[in-house]
Structure 1
Amino acid sequence: MLINKTFHDIPTQLDNGKPIRIFIIAPEVPDYPEAKFPGVVVFSEIYQVTGPVERFAGQIASQGYVVESICLVQRALLSITNSKVLKLSRTMSKIEKKVEAYDEDAKLTIDLLVSLKNCNGRIAATGMCLGGHLAFRAAFDPRVLASVCFFGTDIHSATLGKGKSDDSLIRVRNGDLSGKGELVMIFGKQDTHVPREGRDLIRKTLEDANIPVSFLEVQAQHAFVRDEQSKGRWDAALTRSLFTFVMEVFERTAGRDLGPKVAQGKAPEHVC
């Protein structure tokens, strides 16, 4: 399926008015200008919407989804060309940004997605690294029908954002994920950013809260889906296999209109 790319700069309230840039990659179906598709939010890693993230988002869009990929840096950083300065600026942006501002970014992104005329309002989310954690937090939004989180960082250590003190797992324990969309957590067993103890904590917290979750641990390092060889971690075959799994989750949840959800064990009422 053919796709095209545009972007919106959306002002924020909690980040001193600094805008977030949201890239939209959407299907194009000739002769069907009013076609509508489900939507997917792709949260970027700390390097922002680089080639690997854009290509990942484009692959999802070509399957028939309106995809938004959110750039979490301030507009001022978009013009920096010195790679060392840009890397430092991105790192500082990550640790200086408040968790509430990250949540506002997610809300603004979903708000924009459901407002698009080519989106039918059925939303899923995914992301890698920093974006994996943000996709995890996006699962608290009842509009998100599925979240697939690739090697989400800082979840186990609760160190997202300014002050390095987030409440992601606390909210799980408090029941904020109960009755929400489907959750998938994917980690590499050789991931030095999320060690075994951290993965065990995340899994235990979700299971103790009785959250239906698919928890996948594969033989890979951190960032294994990034299709670049800069650090020698990209596993193309494994990425292809997991992409098929991701699309099955999205198709089964956001991709199909199943009607209203009912509690497990309770049959829906039928009118004769």
Structure 2
Amino acid sequence: MMKTITASDGHSLNCWFEPAVGERRGGIVILQEIFGVTDQLKGVAAKYAALGYEVAIPALFDRQERDAVIPFDQAPRGRDMMLASDLEKTVADIDAAVKALAANGGKVGVIGFCWGGGLALRAAQDLDIAAGVAFYGTRLPQYLDRPLKAAFLGHFGSKDDHVPAEMLDQAKAYLPDMEIHMYDAGHAFANDARPSYVADAADVAHARTAEFLAKYVG
């Protein structure tokens, strides 16, 4: 269900909430690609809700365009919105979702995809969370300016031209505590609504993520 949450600067944004199935184990914030709060991401939320987590997906484009959902074949539009976003304000919006889940009890983790994967790294550096997970997180160099405060797991494709090997090597050198797994896949290999989807890689990455969250979140 879509609800409204409020960031520390007073900005109100929409946030999709997926209730935990069965006994609640904690909270998970899912951070979007450059396409907004898509039906595909809501499906991911349902996957983790089935494991017992309450899930929130904040609408990180709401500061620019309310309820913006970009079709997958219009990536340049989503990229432009991502580039126009303010990192500090975006992190404040993520924090609002973290706090909304924390208010219901338990620890909170963050999972991000693409743009959201990089933002998950920033969340693990700045916010009060127990764990962060990046699926093919992009724009990594801009986050290599402070240490991790939470456990962090990264999933990357060996054929991902958005995250070349030298960029990932730089991130691993700066953040040696980051746990990294590589997959024989390209960018967006876990998005089952796009041609880039690689089922075997996605299944293994999600299984590793579930194990990681069970250890650090609940």
Which of the pair has the greater relative contact order for Cα pairs under 8 Å at 6+ separation? 2
1:54 alignment counterpart: 42
**Structure 1 unaligned regions, length at least 5:** 1-5, 30-34, 159-167, 256-272
> Are 1:243 and 2:212 counterparts?
no
1:37 to 1:191, Cα distance in 2 relative to 1, 3 A: same
Percent identity among equivalent residues? 25
Question: What corresponds to 1:169 in structure 2?
Answer: 144
Cα drift, residue 242 of structure 1: 1.4
Displacement of 1:69 in angstroms is: 1.0
2:174 maps to amino acid: T
Contact kept? 2:155, 2:181, Cα under 8 Å:
yes
Tell me what 1:182 maps to: 151
* Partner residue, 1:8: 3
Q: 1:113 to 1:213 in 2, by over 3 A?
A: same
Alignment match, 2:180: 215
- Letter of the 2:12 counterpart: P
Question: Gapped runs of 5+ residues in structure 2?
Answer: none
Q: How does 1:123-142 map to 2 (within 5 A)?
A: 123-141=108-126
Question: Aligned to 2:145, what secondary structure does the other structure show?
Answer: helix
Compute the RMSD of aligned alpha carbons: 2.5
Matching residue of 2:173 = 204
Give the partner amino acid of 2:82.
K
What amino acid sits opposite 1:182 in the alignment? A
User: Is the Cα–Cα contact under 8 Å of residues 18 and 74 in structure 1 kept in the other structure?
Assistant: no
**Does the CA contact (< 8 Å) of 1:151 and 1:186 recur in 2?**
yes
Please name the residue that 1:150 is paired with. Answer: 135
> Partners in 2 of 1:247 and 1:100 — Cα distance?
29
In 2, Cα distance between equivalents of 1:59 and 1:183 = 20
Q: Deviations over 1:127-183 (max 9, x none)?
A: 100110111111024531111111111113x2xxxxxxxxx20113xxxx2xx3211
Partner of 1:25: 18
Matching of residue 192 in structure 1 with residue 161 in structure 2 = yes
Cα deviation digits, residues 176-224 of structure 1 (max 9, x gap): x2xx3211111101001111111111111112xxxx2211121110000
CA contact (8 A) 2:27 2:109 kept: yes
Letter in 2 for 1:224: F
Superposition deviation, residue 20 in structure 1: 2.0
Give the Å deviation of 1:11. Answer: 3.8
Matches within 5 A, 1:102-121: 102-116=90-104, 120-121=105-106
Cα deviations by residue, 1:14-66 (Å, 9 ceiling, x for unpaired)? 5xx6532111101244xxxxx54311111111101112211111101111000
Q: Tell me the distance in 2 between the aligned counterparts of 1:182 and 1:244.
A: 17
**Structure number, greater radius of gyration:** 1
State which of 223, 244, 253 in structure 1 corresponds to 2:216.
253
Q: Look up the match of 1:91.
A: 79
- Distance (whole Å) between structure 1 residues aligned to residue 103 and residue 129 of structure 2: 15
TM-score (structure 2 length as normaliser) = 0.89
Partner of 1:264: none
Q: Relative to total residues, which structure has the larger helix share, 1 or 2?
A: 2
Preserved contact between residue 7 and residue 23 of structure 1 (Cα < 8 Å): yes
Partner of 1:227: 192
Normalising by structure 1, report the TM-score.
Answer: 0.73
